Each structure stands twice: as C-alpha cells, then as structure tokens.
Structure 1
Amino acid sequence: MSQVQTTHSGPALVQEGPIKTFLRATEIDTRMLGMLGALLLIWLGFHFYGYFANGNGAFLTYRNLWNLSVQTSSITVMATGMVLVIVTRNIDLSVGSMLGVTAMMMGVLQVWILPNILGIGHPSIWILTVIFGLIAGTLIGTFQGYLIAFLEIPSFIVTLGGLLIWRGAAWWVARGETIAPIDANFALIGGGPYGSVGATWSWVVAVIACIGIVALLVNGRAQRARFGFPMRPLWAEYFIGVVSAAIVLAATFTMNNYFWPKGIVKEYAAAHNLDPATLVNIGHGWAVPVLIALFVVMAMTFVTTRTKFGRYVFAMGGNPEAAELAGINTRRMTMLIFSLMGFLVGISACISSARLKASTVALGQFDELYVIAAAVIGGTSLAGGSGTIYGALIGALVMQSLYSGMVLVGFDAAIQNMVVGAVLVLAVYIDTIYRRHAK
C-alpha cells in the first residue's frame, strides 16, 4: 500500500510497509505489543529452562497459569490506582503497608469482634468485614491525599512516612499475632476450589465478555461516524474482535482445565454424600479474585477514558499549571486520586488476606515495589501525563511471571530481587528512549 504525500516540489510517493500499514489500520499500541512479546518470552523461557534443567517444564501448565492469575490479582488492583498517582507526577510508597494494616484490622473485626456480637459463622460477617476494609483503606488514602494536596508535603515524603507508620500500626493492632482462621465466606474472595465459579459459569462469563467486545466495537464505530472521526477498515475491526474473543476463550479454557485436587474432591463428596468416583475432572474455572481484578481493570479503564475525572487526571499530569489555570481544582483532584488509591488497597487487602486465610504482620510487605514496577513496566511514565490501565495489567503479569518463574526453577531470593530491580530500571530506560523519540 502506498500513500501520496504533497511537498513543495509536487506530489511524492512514500512507501509504507505492511507492518506499519497493519499497525496504523488497527491502531494497536506498539508498546503493548512489546510488553506482550516480553511476557511471551518470559513464559517460554522459564518453561523450557525448567524442561532442560529438570526434565519438567512446569510453567506453561494449567495449574501454574491458574495460580499465576490468582497471584497477580492483588497487585493488578493496586497497579490500576498507581497509574493515576504516577500520571499526576506523584508516587505512593505506602500501599503495601496500607494493605497490611487494613488486613489486620479486618482480621480483628471478623475473628475477635463480630463473632461475639453476631455469633460464629453469621452470614453477614464477611459483608461487614469487606465494607469496613474498603472504608478503612479509603480513609487512609484520603488522609495522605490531604497532606499532599492541601499541606503541600511532597508525596514521596508523605507515603514514605506512611510506609513506616502503617507497617508499625499493622503490628500494633494485634501485637504481632497472626489472626486466623478468618470467616469461611470471606475466604472465598481469595480463590481456591470453592472460591472459583466453576467451568459452566466460566463459559457464561466468557460468552458475555465476547458479546461485550462486539458491542464495544460496534458502539465505537458508530461514535466515530457520528462525530466524523477517521474510521478503521472493516478488516481491522474484525481482526481486533476475533483476536480479543480468542484470547477470552483460550483463557477460559485454561482456567477450566485446572481440575480440583483429589483430596478436595473426596472432601466435597463426603460433605455432600456423593460417590467420589462420579466426580471426575471438576474444573476450577475463573477464580473470584481474578474476576474482581478484571472488573476493576474495566471500571478503571472506563473512568480514565470516558469520564471528566479521567480527563482531568491526564491534564494535570501533562501540565499541572495549565490544568489549574483552566479551572481544574488540582488539590481536590489530588486528594481524590489518593482516596481512590486507598479504596483499591482495601480491595487488595480483602483478596490477599482471604487468599492466605489469615491476617499477618508481613502481609503486603514489598508490595509497593511490585505495584510501582507493574505500572512503570506497563508504560506509565514517571514524568507524568501518560499511562494506561491495560498496561498496568500486563505489567503486573510480567512482574508476577518473573517472580513465579524464578521460584519454579529454584532461584534464591537474592537473585529474584536482583532480577526484579534490573527489570524496573530497564523499563524506565525504555520509557525514556520512547519519550525522546516521540518528541
């Protein structure tokens, strides 16, 4: 395909390669392609390394991929909020400690307080605990946002102090005790055989997602036509729809093919007076924390791309002075962003403590590093003004894949930290080069 370009000396013919034509027509972000390519290389690298080193490639298995999705959920939820924080040229170093203290307070509430008031196993215990956790996280985030926005203390200092304060508070809440066992219904938020929706409902979710993809493409095309924006070629629309639906179906197939362990099957059969022999290959399906994380990603994508709040966030990140002169209340926006970050930390605290089935002082330790790394690797610029929610999701997958892969192949903790640090530095360097060439 060729493109005519007019110059002062007359029309000139500029050849456009097939790859450039494809990317222009589909409007696919090249950075996203790079991240997906890196993710695929990590998966293949760890799988074949394990195969040649131990004779067992354990990474690309249904079990490991299912576990990987669950392990990534908590980081993904917080990374979506960290995107907004970094876009506005701030940072939040306290999210791991906030998660820890919120989880400890939820543990005290559901194990020591509510059972004495409502009775052990009361069905509303988990609901009250979740609501309390979300409120607690939001209040902590709002408090830090107030210090940053209205008292004009740099976010680095406020959240560095928060990292130490909230970690100490997590110990103080229960004097360092591990709080367990948590409410059985609350534990389902963390996944596991019972904390998954099963194969049938997973296919229902997949079908709904595919219908949603088609609806978004049709609506997007209609909006472009309505406002006179350039239209993508039909073949590009079909390509995006088919590939997106294929990813959803392939992921659902993977989730459904991780079957319940035999011990869980026997336990379930005994509890329901069934013959274990009749319960064969019960698929986990999508885990509850994964569905929560995906819902948060979709909601945050809508907020950042379809609301006034999202436009204000990126306007502030691009030029804070111009945004304020344009009438945006930047102080109020900053506090709201940190409030939202706290709310998302509350969700992650529910997922993490439910997955562990306990609340411990160490919960969330170093999570701030993984969350910031996920956002940066996902394309969020530390210079502010640019970043995507889906990029944070891919960045979280990259970080968790690196960590899980190194654990599987037997790398010690020192090597793991070195690799994660090197990847973070490399991601910032790539972002610097990308921004330099984009100018």
Structure 2
Amino acid sequence: MKSWLPIPASSHFSLKNIPFGIISTASNPRHRPAVALGDHVLDLSAFASSAGFNKLSTDLQSNLGVFEQTTLNDFAALGRPYHRAIRQYLQDIFSENTSHEIKTNTSLQKEALLPIADVTTHLPLSIGDYTDFFAGRNHAFNVGTLFRGPANALQPNYNHLPVAYHGRASSVVVSGTPLRRPWGQALPAPGATEPIFRPCARLDIELEMGMFVCKGNVLGEPVALEDAEDFIFGYVLMNDWSARDIQQWEYVPLGPFNAKNFGTSISPWVVLADALEPFRTEGLKNEAELQSYLKEDRKDNILDIQLEVSITTATGNSTTLTRTSSKNLLWSWSQMLAHHTVAGCNLRSGDLFGSGTISGFDAGTHGSFLEQTQGGKVTIKLEGGEERKFVEDGDTITLTGWAGGVDGELVGFGQCVGQILPAISRK
C-alpha cells in the first residue's frame, strides 16, 4: 500500500496503520483528534473544518463533530463500523493514486498535515475505569515460582478465569510523563514483621498491552463472547509501574493498592482493532475445561505483536532488556471482556484494560525486573558497565511494539516512555 506522502520504511505509522490520538501544537494549544502517518500527523479537526471529508458518504458526515472534541471518546463510541469507514477513507486519500485534493492542495496540507515533531500528544481518551488483568501465563508462572515454587506457581483459579483487579484511572499518564518514586509501607528486611515508611526500594516495570473499550453495555446485561469484538476500539502499549516492596506488604488479602496506583504509562496513539486483524495467532494452550461463557471457537484469538523494553540510565547509556511477543497471553481480549461483564458490570466508552505482564520463559524475554533478577538475586548488566536489580532514579524505560514490516508496512505503536524521578522529600 503506497502513499503519495513520503513515509519512511521504518515508520510504525504506515498507511496500513492509521492510529488515532489527541494532539496540540504551540500555535494551537487546544486538544484535538489526529492520526499519525509517517513523520506527519493529520489534524482531523482542521481537516474536517476544511471540508476534507466531503467525499465521505452523507450518513457518515453527520458525525464529523466527534473530531471537534478534546478526546476520542465520542469517536470511539460510534463503533467499529464507523472507525473502519474513517480509516478506509484516510487510507484512500493518502494512497498514491488518490484524486483527493489534499495530494496537491498545499494550503490544505499546511493547515492540516503537520510534522509529528511539532505536536504534543495527550491521553487519547478520558478513562473512566481501568482494569488490569493477569493474562500473561509465563509471567504468572515465573513470579509464582519465585514465591511458591514451580509446583504451586499458579493459583487454582488461574486457568479457569481471567484474573484481574481494578486499577486507578486517574494516574494513567501519556508517554513522556515523568513519575515520582512512591513512598509506602514496606518490610525493611527478609524475616521482618514490622513495616517502615520509606521510598520504594524495589521499583519495577510491567510490559503490557492496553485495550480501550469503544462502547458500553447496559448494567446487568453481560457481553457475550461472540459479541465482544464489537466493543474493542483499539490498543496501546502500557507500562504498569509496580512498587514490589510496598506490594509485598500490602497485597494480602485484597490485592495491590498503593504499589500500583502511583502511575501507569501508555503510548499516545491508539492502533485500531481492524489494523491488527492480520496479525492474529493462536495463543497459549489452556488445558482447563472452561465455562461456556469463556469458550472461544476462534483459534487465532491472540495478537502477535513484537515487543521490546529498553532502559536509558541517567548517564545516557541505553540497553535493550527484553524482546518478546504478545502471543504469550493465555486469555484473549474478548475473553477478558466477556468475563468482566459476566456478573452484569457495565462498561463505558474509554474504559481501559491492561493485559497483565507479557513474558516468555527464556532470558531476555521477561517483562519485569522481578523476573529478570529472580526477585533481586541476580544483577542485570547494562551498557557502560552499570548494573541494575530494579529501576533507579533517573532511569527512563521505553516500550516499543509493532507488527508486520514487509515493504515498509509496519503497524506499530511508536513508543511508551517513562522516567522515574526521586521521591518527594518528607520531614
């Protein structure tokens, strides 16, 4: 799929992609929708107001007001057929043989087609609720083995349902937002029984994917598994920052709280579900006999996204820590969504799901420091001679994810970047 707009072959934002986000510029600080395309973004507000969608069917044009909003929630709520039509329209007008005026109209290009380096990105949707799942079975097994041994690594319920907890939506931040090292209660040493209050000493990352819900269901009416795909807007990269020492002390009996609520980073561009449809694969095999509401006929129910994690220390040295794939998930997004609503919970446009940490079994495939260092027992060797057991102040973590790549047709997410700042001073 070739474009008249020069798009680098290495760009995550090929014509096959068309991811949606929210931008602002120095000359126009208002938040507004856009799509990323190579080294440019198309300002959808400016494009719509300049009659750029004049060749769109009349029934679809009636909803173009969604591109005047400051978030993507209203656009998402229109549903996947509308998303599909807009994406197809944009692919058509940027294809090399288009007859659309944007190809030759320099005034329209100047108004609506902006260098990506000149825009600031923001949270793409207003997030009402955030639920973090635990669908990465390799991670669950690796961590369970550290704490309980391989025979008891997975809890009895793990293969029977998509385990999850409700996270904190207010502290989900867009890529590039720095976060403070959290304070909390933690045990000072192995074997201690009384906690102390201190800055987190075992700050970790979790390599995840995030999924945005496009539309809601009625309270009390579960979403059937066969209908769940219709509720998926698109996907982002996610770093679920985790304070392991705080988590260890607080999580019994109700699960993590302050260890997780100080910040979750996501990438700014939402890759639509349709864009990732060609990259489905079969996930990890589940030997359990599932309840009927979780039985999925489709075998290629998992996305195969290539994922990388790198660290850049305060000295400027960068090291790749992890290379893995999102196919290391036991549960599909449709199964997560069906389980989330099976008791009658109502979802809303903009709700965010996290996949849980995505890991392989081998060295260099783990999605957390906890796994890579075997709970802090092993040191990670970095470029420049530095070492890490957990994240230190000044460290920047970068997640990258993409699929495809043949003939410059990457469907990628860009980056999810977060830097850790020192904890606040306390008297």
Q: TM-score, normalised by structure 2?
A: 0.23
Q: Greater relative contact order: 1 or 2 (C-alpha under 8 angstroms, separation 6 or more)?
A: 1
Q: Report the structure number with the largest CA radius of gyration.
A: 1
